[in-house]
Structure 1
Amino acid sequence: MKAIHDKMEFSPGHSVKCKDWIEVRDPQDDSLIATVPAVTPEGMNKAVERAADGAKIAAEMPVHQRVSILHRTADLLSSRKEEFSMVIAREGSKTIREARKEVSRAVETIRISAEEARRIHGETLSFDQMPGSENRVGGWYRVPVGLVAAITPFNDPLNLVAHKVGPAVASGNAVIVKPASVTPLSALKLWEVMQEAGLPSPVFSVVPGRGSEVGDTLVQHPQVRMISFTGGVEAGKKIAGKAGIKKANMELGSNCPAIILGDADLSTAIQSCVSGAFWAAGQNCLKVQRIYIEDSVYPDFLEGFVARTRQYRTGNKLSEETDMGPLITCREAERVDRWVKEAMKEGAVLYCGGERDGAFYTPTVLSDVPQGSRIEWDEVFGPVVSLHPVRDAEEAVKRANQTHFGLQAGVFTKDLDKAFDLIHRLQVGGVMVNDSSDYRIDAMPFGGVKQSGLGREGVRHAVGEMTETKVVCFRLKS
């Protein structure tokens, strides 16, 4: 790959000159993949102003046009699956097999968006329920918010962009994407595909830039009417404090628990939780981070979980045999290593892993992690999982809830009554029964409680977030 442009194109005949560059490097060996322009605050302002013009175009696009463009985008994306997979694997942490799954999901996300574009409607209202309103009729319908600012992370550089762009286009909005600086290439390639699919250029913009330099400009711009952010809690708090009166949808991560009851199918639980803990090197907001296991099955679960973890193959991302690649940067691997060593000093026991080589960190299993330890309380965002024996389901749910996060949880049991009891009591946005917290399909509502975020993604629900309710009432002749 090479330099993308010395200018960032936003609409036909318009561009923003860039003097600085962002180097996109493969975290596996630090090799230079590409350079992309780093937009300045002045450039971001110009991009937002042009995107605001795009919002007017988007609002006037008929539904059939939105549907056609989105289906065409999905077709083009599907036909170039291997090309996109290679970009995802090179610029980020995913193995080539994980990258292919992400492309398939992005295709599905765009197709669902096309379907949901047909289903944006309202309802009639019985105005005559109010005395004196017998001669009034009407109802409500949904209108686009206007311009959506989407800020996306590195860990799903294509599908998380699709989860913001697809619903925005489906609902008649313009969208401007500020991708993660370390993984901007997938978003830029999606922009190219959507241009080829016929989307008017000002409706969708990708603006690479360093968040510290252009983030405030984007979120504070008065033309931006909604912010869709996926990232860390601290960044989310800063955005919320600076954005002003705007709609906001935020997914802010978690330290997801799994609960293994005594009657669980241990083979299924072990397989699901190992995959959920180490997919994409554990850099996943849904990753299994804390596992609470009833005492009666703890020894068997621990033995099986550690054995399966040791079989996890770490290495070259592009090899079909590799299960897990590197973390996104050496700095992140160093941070994870610090957290693990800190937990061990506090009394945690290391069963396997705990070794760093550059940006690589071996799949790591801990037990006896003290309550309140950072590696249990915060989001580790790395390939580390802690196992905790508990007396019963009561202790498990209590400990699972003792955190400021609440995205998803996994529960493993054959007892339907116990499953529903935990479903009701777990303080999370989603409970996966006999599956790990890492399970998700792109059509389901997705989001958390407490500091895990605001609002819900998932295409249908994102469309709802990206539209406003407008009431219409006709007064008839009496």
Structure 2
Amino acid sequence: MEKTTKILFPYDQTLVKELPLLNSNDVENILNTAQKLFNDQSNWLPAFERIEILEKAASIMSERSEELIHLAISEGGKPYKDSKAEILRAIKGVKLAAEHIAQIKGEQIPMGLTEASLNRIAFTSKEPIGVVVAVSAFNHPLNLAVHQIATAVAAGCPVIFKPSSNTPLSGLALADILKEAGLPEGWLQVVLCDNETAELLVTDSRVHFFSFIGSAKVGWSLKSKLPPGTRCALEHGGAAPVIVESDADFNEMIPDLVKGGFYHAGQVCVSVQKIYVNEEICDRFIEQFSQATNKLIVGNPFDETTDVGSLITPKEVNRIEEWVNEAIENGAKLITGGKRISETCFEPTILLNPSEDSKVSTNEIFGPVVCIYPFTNREEAINKANALDVHFQAAVFTKNIDIALSTAKKLNATAVMINDNTAFRVDWMPFGGRDASGLGMGGISYTINDMTREKLTVFKSKSI
């Protein structure tokens, strides 16, 4: 009997679509298709064709943006205004990938610097790395697909893309659009499969590059099983700490942190989770932050006024409820929220001073919960912000340039935002975690470079 996966609208759990899952017997054909394309250089797509395909795809996406927005909402549950922002970012990402193809280039390596290197000219060139397998997450179903698929197309690599089983429709739509834009058969294969079959794909020796976006547990486990020579990039999560100093601008900061904490119900790998607030302003901060949080509209993500939608599954609501209750039982003060609204929605929640060993303090929450910790000594706050083994993006709010730069230097993070929330991202910047939070840096141009490899050519001639 054929296995299937059901895609449900996260808000009310109604069926959107049921799709068949591949099984382990299909893996061989999928990998063979990709390997054959790559091994025969006559199949390789020249740069101008890759540019044309991606530019056409971006154009089609723009024409169908409303359709793509509704598709992303139906499977991912992100509110309309945020899903619209994601689709616009995805279109820009495809354009960025097309533009970067012109920057895939090598350089001349000097010769003649020693007697032994006379009569030679040397240069490097960039080639596609080979077959790419990409495993993606649910929270940005179209934009993440762009970051893993459009980059592979730009680099000239055949790509096998496994979307989240909760949100495969956006990736399938992107595949259809790329095919319509002229991407030849086999260069992109979207696979829906269980974890066991996905592992067979990822760990095959024919795979040259593995791109992963998801949980640290799964990412590091798969990395440990990669065959020799397979390169990889892993993007996991973090706890996104924020340091708020006494001179911070409340008018700018409060709406910024509310957005950063509760955007997509906190289901973002750099969502604001831990805010360390100078004790001098903590009462004022709590008052204004909670007032702004209480104004957020939680509801149906198709409603254009909704600020916070549902979590991806009811199981996640149960988990968030357990973690919040545990924190309160262990001494945290509930400032606002703290309760489930329905089977699929949870109130935007603020906790004050949860214990250091509560799950909300030691783990990535990945839900609509923000924790506030008052501090008197900034160095101690920074040490606490750095204490976990996950380090991704962080932030500091202050108008003092010395404090800003000093704090940015001391925070263990790949990116520190000054007077901006931790969830800030544009798709041409480097983006990724360090330590347990990941390996390598994402961002359209950075990923394309990862998916290429360098070749040195040395030409010897007495005429040189």
- Which residue is 2:386 aligned to? 401
- Which residue is 1:35 aligned to? 18
Deviation, 1:56, is 4.6
- Which residue is 1:459 aligned to? 444
Code of the residue aligned with 1:49 in structure 2: it is N
Report Cα offsets for 1:148-179 as digits up to 9, x if no partner.
10000100111001001111111111111000
- Which residue is 1:3 aligned to? none
Matches within 5 A, 1:21-420: 21-56=4-39, 60-211=44-195, 213-245=196-228, 246-356=230-340, 357-420=342-405
Code of the residue aligned with 1:194 in structure 2: it is L
Deviation, 1:52, is 2.0
Code of the residue aligned with 2:241 in structure 1: it is P
Contact 1:24–1:34 (8 Å) recurs in 2 = yes
State the distance in 2 between where 1:257 and 1:247 align.
30
SS at structure 1 position matched to 2:138: coil
- Is the deviation greater in 354-363 or in 105-114? 354-363
SS at structure 1 position matched to 2:306: coil
Contact 1:174–1:203 (8 Å) recurs in 2 = yes
State the distance in 1 between where 2:117 and 2:298 align.
69
Contact 2:37–2:44 (8 Å) recurs in 1 = no
SS at structure 2 position matched to 1:182: coil
Contact 2:204–2:227 (8 Å) recurs in 1 = no
- Is the deviation greater in 121-130 or in 273-282? 121-130
Give me the TM-score of the superposition, normalised by structure 2: 0.97
SS at structure 2 position matched to 1:239: helix
State the distance in 1 between where 2:400 and 2:451 align.
39
Tell me if 1:447 matches 2:432: yes
State the distance in 1 between where 2:72 and 2:430 align.
25
Deviation, 1:395, is 2.1
Deviation, 1:51, is 2.0
Contact 1:44–1:207 (8 Å) recurs in 2 = no
State the distance in 1 between where 2:272 and 2:243 align.
10
Give me the TM-score of the superposition, normalised by structure 1: 0.94
State the distance in 1 between where 2:302 and 2:265 align.
14
Deviation, 1:227, is 0.4
Give aligned-pair identity as a percent.
Answer: 35
Contact 1:261–1:392 (8 Å) recurs in 2 = no
Contact 2:274–2:371 (8 Å) recurs in 1 = yes
- Which residue is 2:421 aligned to? 436
State the distance in 2 between where 1:130 and 1:435 align.
52
Contact 2:68–2:170 (8 Å) recurs in 1 = yes
Report Cα offsets for 1:6-52 as digits up to 9, x if no partner.
xxxxxxxxxxxx92211111111111110111110111232122122
State the distance in 2 between where 1:446 and 1:130 align.
41
Code of the residue aligned with 2:395 in structure 1: it is G
> Could you list the runs of 5+ residues in structure 2 that have no partner in the other structure?
none
Deviation, 1:126, is 1.1
Code of the residue aligned with 2:389 in structure 1: it is H
Q: 1:225 to 1:266 in 2, by over 3 A?
A: same
Deviation, 1:306, is 0.6
State the distance in 1 between where 2:180 and 2:166 align.
25
State the distance in 1 between where 2:319 and 2:32 align.
39
Code of the residue aligned with 1:244 in structure 2: it is P
State the distance in 2 between where 1:43 and 1:474 align.
44
SS at structure 1 position matched to 2:364: coil
Contact 1:309–1:363 (8 Å) recurs in 2 = yes
State the distance in 2 between where 1:60 and 1:387 align.
53
Deviation, 1:57, is 6.9
Code of the residue aligned with 1:263 in structure 2: it is D
Report Cα offsets for 1:174-225 as digits up to 9, x if no partner.
11100000111000011000000000121111111122x3121111111111
State the distance in 1 between where 2:56 and 2:39 align.
22
